[in-house]
Structure 1
Amino acid sequence: WGTISLSLDALAAIGITMAGREFTTPEDVTTETPESGTMERLRRLYATAGRLATTAPDILAHPEAARSLEHDLARALAACLEPETNEEDASAKRRHAAIMRRFQALVAASCDRPVYTTDLCAAIGVSDRTLEICCREHLGMSPQKYLRLRRIQRVRRALALADPRSGTVTGIATAHGFWELGRFAGVYRSLYGESPSQTLAADPAKFSESA
């Protein structure tokens, strides 16, 4: 058993940002039964957070790593509370194109700072579900995957340019919002054919030539 506690204001903000509507608070105690897939994701993230707090508290001590985990938990919780809806309508394509122009502009303006879907949804004024639909239409992937790949690219550049005598993979990865370091390392190797530590130890000139 476990609990996730949110203030009423925080719950309302999550509903507006992630689902496009407020999550109303029932007068009486209620029991919700989410779909198995969404509930399983929330349980998995919750368990991972507990393990990190016990075995690697230094990772969660980094503000960006903690914020990234909090963001993922909030999305998983919102998915459990929000029923499936279909927001497509006759003018959806035009509206989605406008949303993606705003999305790309905000992402580009963030430079090397990690950016998350909750921030983008709030800035654009759309729900998490709508942004998901738009990104899958225009990018062929979810906004979370797109932003994660973008952050991994920036980690690679930071690793390649860092001094291996003072820089660490953990420090650079957590600074870019990664808190599941084992999963990060696996994705990194699948993308670049080498481990993050190998990139850190490589000659920066080699990276510049390949980039």
Structure 2
Amino acid sequence: MDKAHVTSRQLPSRAKPRAGWQTANHQANVARVVALLQAQEERPIRLSELCRNAGISERTLRSIFKKVFGMGPNRYLHIRRLHLVRAALSIASANTESVSDIALRFGFSDSGRMASDYHALFGEYPSQTLMRMLP
């Protein structure tokens, strides 16, 4: 028999594709990624760390983020970090903490760029969020 005409019925049973395996595997990957994100709500998580801890490739991670969140993982993680900064600023004391210190805590080394992105997302500057907490 010519090798070019081998069908799946002629393959050994272990080599046959299982119905729905990609869907189940995809759902398991999504569940792992979401669980890792929820477990790391107190600190920023890097893309490489997310891939390593979820046990998936960066390509698979990008596919998951596009399907589940409608954006790439870097964009999602950046927005997530901005939300973490906002939450920290909303409970911080302007007398003891600065926007720069809080930005650094969440992985923003350029506080000016962070402030610009923050303003674009939330419609106010980080300093305004921090000052709202003054008595």
**Same fold, TM-score > 0.5, yes or no:** yes
Task: Give 1:137's aligned amino acid.
Answer: K
Q: Deviations over 1:138-186 (max 9, x none)?
A: 1101112222211111111111111111211110001001123222111
Higher relative contact order (CA closer than 8 Å, sequence separation 6+): 1
Larger radius of gyration: 2
TM-score by length of 1: 0.51
Q: Which residue of 2 aligns with 1:115?
A: 45
User: Structure 1, residues 53-108: CA drift from partner, whole Å, max 9, x if none?
Assistant: xxxxxxxxxxxxxxxxxxxxxxxxxxxxxxxxxxxxx8544432221110001111
- The residue aligned with 1:141 is 71
**How far apart in 1 are the matches of 2:116 and 2:34?**
27
Gaps of 5+ in 2: 1-19
Letter in 2 for 1:113: R
The Cα shift of 1:110 comes to: 1.5
For the pair 1:191 / 2:124, whether they are aligned, the reply is: no
TM-score between the two structures when normalised by the length of structure 2: 0.77
Return the match for 2:110 from 180, 185, 192. 180
Structure 2 residue 36 is the aligned partner of structure 1 residue 106: yes
Flag as ranges the 4+ runs of structure 1 deviating above 6 A.
none
SS at match of 2:104: helix
Matches of 1:129 and 1:100, distance apart in 2: 13
Question: CA RMSD for the aligned pairs?
Answer: 1.9
- The answer to which of 122-131 and 167-176 deviates more is 122-131
